[in-house]
Structure 1
Amino acid sequence: MTAITAGSVVFEHVSKRFAGFNALPDLSLTVEPGTLVTLLGPSGCGKTTTLRLLAGLEHPTSGRILIGGKDVTQLPANERDVAMVFQSYALFPHMSALDNIMYGLQSSGLPKREVQDRAREGLKLVGLENQGQRLPSELSGGQQQRIAVARALVLEPQVLLLDEPLSNLDERLRRRVRTDIRDLQQRLGFTAVYVTHDQEEALAVSDKIIVMKEGDIAQQGAPETLYNAPNSVFIADFMGEANILPCEVEQIEGSEALVRLGNQRYRVRGNGLRTGAAQLSVRPQFITLHDGATGALRGEVTHSTWLGDHIEYEVATELGSLFIVDAQMEQQRPLSASVAIDFKPQGLALITG
């Protein structure tokens, strides 16, 4: 397989309407060559419509789509230099793994020997070089999905599209296959657009995450940015668990703010915020419980769940109920226990919207 030419993706003011329903009002986005960008969001947010528009399975109502600098807005799917990996694998059950990978190449006009060589290289890329003669029914779900990835990659597309590729796998296999996909993307340097509703999956594989809401981009950026500096309650709550608490911004100092939360003050991220009442995103694993007489807040345990490697608590406070993930496993606090609560600054982020 020759080197893959990684293409860019650009949406310029793209809209899409379905029978009176405006799925995408006005979408503009850019995917840089050689990066893996994830479209993330709840059901109905527009991420699958965006992927189908990019694949040529739908055409926009207005706007332009460019792949590798070429306007493909009106081109059919078979004339776009993209390949797609589906959540259902879409393998032919009567064909061997090798034949499934060869299938797309056979219509490309390549010599038969080159088709076979590239298909075998595809098997090797995904670590299944010894499984080529097996039928899909003889492979695990994770192996079938790796065959589907290989089938797409041997076409050497400018952009690889992945539509919920791990949704049919159990949790352990999802972790393995997402690692395989990310390793392949970084090793080969291809451009990938990845659709999922799973926040952990997006955090694990992405160079950039685009979170969508009602057909618009709610926030985009590196995984660390979206998790640690959400710009809204929606993003804070969607990108993992978050407690949203009222606070008082007392002072702004460059990229930090001095914030009073309960009886304590903390320095947290606060770019461009104003002093006064605000909201704070508090990650549950950065909340500490102790038996002391003082803390930022006092509370009472209303629920606790032992989960092997951590304990989850719900604690009633004057600012509302807190969800807390406690790694301290020596003793589980009983219901109605009185606790003092403090916060680690790295788990705090001010919210602007």
Structure 2
Amino acid sequence: MTTQTRGAVAFEQVRKDFGAFTAIPDLTLRIEPGELVTLLGPSGCGKTTTLRMLAGLETPTAGRILIGGEDVTRLPANRRDVSMVFQSYALFPHMSVAQNVAYGLESGGMKGGAVRDAVETGLDLVGLGGMGARLPSELSGGQQQRVAVARALVLEPQVLLLDEPLSNLDARLRRRVRTEIRELQQRLGFTAVYVTHDQEEALAVSDRIVVMQNGRIAQQGPPRELYEQPASDFIADFIGESNVVPCTVEGLSEGAATVRVGGLVQQVPARHAVLGPARLSVRANAITVQTGQGPFMGRIATSAYLGDHLEYEIETAIGPLFAVDAEGDAPLSPGTPVTLSFRPRGLALIA
């Protein structure tokens, strides 16, 4: 096995049926060595089934799965060079932290000083050096998750699998632990496949995001590409708060399109635009809401104060819009007439 293939993952025309239901119709996907790829999508989209097939916990109905260039499609989980971090941590409550981390090594036949050295190294990697004697119940949720990561890493797998690893943590702790996981992955250079339904989490940790819908890949690419260039209404709505509205492409010139939406004329990247009717993705934070008269008017339907920003549902001639205002001091009252404008960065034509 060459260093170029070690850690690479490939799904080749993989299908997964559960009785008469096809969860994954036809999946072809390659993950490069050292890449962190996030499988993102709503419940039932197939992301967890995909991860479980890679882990050996489900067997494909058809197609092949390769890890490091080796066909592992029919291999059991314990013969695949992968480690998995579960949503529930799956720590043994009666064992110390060190014993939890050592469990997989000892099950694989490692003994004595080699185990102690590997455990110490693993705990140091995740910032838990000196805590090996503690029980899981004596640790915070974030520390328990890091123990689970250390237990997976000491096995030195080709691929680390993470299944909703932060879902049991509160919002502040999720931000900190996701940063720690990303920094560790970049420092050690291991291949990782990360499953989540949280768009912000996916944007923060990924080299590439694979958005799944009904068992298929709806779109994949770097986080910024998916956020700024959604390929469909589904992607625009799922990756961040977005409004998809009708517009008219009135002109095309040097990669830019002139579009009319409501009473506004905007310049946006042309992508694959043609003249005539089209659809425009408008991010909620790209809408400027002001009182007074203007070319594009609306009326406040609902308003909410959320501390660092205001949220509005606005009735307009092109349909309801959801807007986020990070600069307003106090919410406008329902029924207030407002004039709307769009910031260019939050706009994208949808093919």
Q: Structure 2 length normalisation: TM-score? A: 0.96
User: Where does residue 33 of structure 2 map in the other structure?
Assistant: 33
> Unmatched 5+ residue regions in structure 2?
none
Contact 1:229 1:269 in 2 (8 A): no
**1:310 equivalent in alignment to 2:309:** yes
User: Where does residue 162 of structure 2 map in the other structure?
Assistant: 162
- Bigger mean CA offset, 225-234 vs 268-277: 268-277
User: Where does residue 137 of structure 1 map in the other structure?
Assistant: 137
User: Where does residue 336 of structure 1 map in the other structure?
Assistant: 335
Moved over 6 A (4+): none
Once residues 22 and 303 of structure 1 are traced to their aligned partners in structure 2, the CA distance between those partners, rounded to angstroms, is 41
1:88-135 deviations in whole A, cap 9, x for unaligned? 101111110011001111123334101111101111111111211110
* Deviation of the 1:271 alpha carbon: 1.4
Once residues 231 and 40 of structure 2 are traced to their aligned partners in structure 1, the CA distance between those partners, rounded to angstroms, is 15
Once residues 18 and 307 of structure 2 are traced to their aligned partners in structure 1, the CA distance between those partners, rounded to angstroms, is 47
User: Where does residue 318 of structure 2 map in the other structure?
Assistant: 319
- Bigger mean CA offset, 199-208 vs 285-294: 285-294
Once residues 73 and 255 of structure 2 are traced to their aligned partners in structure 1, the CA distance between those partners, rounded to angstroms, is 41
Contact 2:6 2:69 in 1 (8 A): no
User: Where does residue 8 of structure 1 map in the other structure?
Assistant: 8
Once residues 6 and 166 of structure 1 are traced to their aligned partners in structure 2, the CA distance between those partners, rounded to angstroms, is 27
- Within 5 A, what are the aligned runs for 1:95-110? 95-110=95-110
Query: Partner of 1:320: helix, strand, or coil?
Result: coil
Pair 182,116 (structure 1): closer, same or farther in 2 beyond 3 Å: same
* Deviation of the 1:331 alpha carbon: 3.6
Once residues 153 and 254 of structure 1 are traced to their aligned partners in structure 2, the CA distance between those partners, rounded to angstroms, is 49
AA at the equivalent of 1:40: L
Note the aligned Cα RMSD (angstroms): 1.4
- Bigger mean CA offset, 245-254 vs 181-190: 245-254
Once residues 230 and 136 of structure 2 are traced to their aligned partners in structure 1, the CA distance between those partners, rounded to angstroms, is 42
User: Where does residue 214 of structure 2 map in the other structure?
Assistant: 214
Q: Count the aligned residue pairs.
A: 348
Contact 2:6 2:67 in 1 (8 A): no
Contact 1:9 1:67 in 2 (8 A): yes
1:194-250 deviations in whole A, cap 9, x for unaligned? 011111111111000000011100000001111111000000001111111100011
Contact 1:85 1:163 in 2 (8 A): yes
Contact 2:292 2:338 in 1 (8 A): yes
User: Where does residue 299 of structure 1 map in the other structure?
Assistant: 298
- Within 5 A, what are the aligned runs for 1:1-353? 7-295=7-295, 297-352=296-351
Contact 1:6 1:34 in 2 (8 A): no
Once residues 55 and 99 of structure 1 are traced to their aligned partners in structure 2, the CA distance between those partners, rounded to angstroms, is 23
Once residues 334 and 328 of structure 1 are traced to their aligned partners in structure 2, the CA distance between those partners, rounded to angstroms, is 16
1:122-173 deviations in whole A, cap 9, x for unaligned? 1111111121111011111111110000000010000000011111111111
Pair 76,255 (structure 1): closer, same or farther in 2 beyond 3 Å: farther
AA at the equivalent of 1:283: R
Once residues 318 and 301 of structure 1 are traced to their aligned partners in structure 2, the CA distance between those partners, rounded to angstroms, is 13
> Unmatched 5+ residue regions in structure 1?
none
Contact 1:160 1:192 in 2 (8 A): yes
Contact 1:6 1:190 in 2 (8 A): no
- Bigger mean CA offset, 245-254 vs 44-53: 245-254
* Deviation of the 1:6 alpha carbon: 5.2
Contact 1:6 1:159 in 2 (8 A): no
Q: Structure 1 length normalisation: TM-score? A: 0.96
Contact 2:305 2:330 in 1 (8 A): no
Once residues 20 and 112 of structure 2 are traced to their aligned partners in structure 1, the CA distance between those partners, rounded to angstroms, is 48
